[in-house]
Amino acid sequence: MTNKLLSITKWTATNLLVVSVALNGLGIYPWGPILAILGGILWLIAAWYMNDMPLIMTNLLMTSVGIFAVGYNYWSA
């Protein structure tokens, strides 16, 4: 991954997470959690290429919890 592509990935992920926080705060479900999961996946990819283990673990856990929570709500409804 080139530095430019890495930078675009990180900024896209950050923007997705900021929008997801706003949507969650406004109670817009499921778009808030979905955008948080997408942002987490993009940050996970970026962290992997940067070989940044704390960032990898943070986003892996955050994304996994988000996927579990959305799945739980979907299948328990």
Chain-wide mean pLDDT for the chain?
96
Sequence ranges of the domains in the chain = 3-76
Place of tokens 């900024």: 11
pLDDT in tens, 29-63: 899 999 999 999 999 999 999 999 999 999 999 99
How far apart, in Å, are the Cα atoms of 38 and each of 63, 76, 77? 8, 22, 23
pLDDT for the residue numbered 1: 85
pLDDT for the residue numbered 77: 75
What is the percent of the chain where pLDDT is above 70?
100
Contacts of 60 (CB under 8 A, 6+ apart): 44
Whole-model pTM: value is 0.92
pLDDT for the residue numbered 4: 97
Which of these, 10, 9, 12, 39, lies nearest to 24 by C-alpha position?
Answer: 39
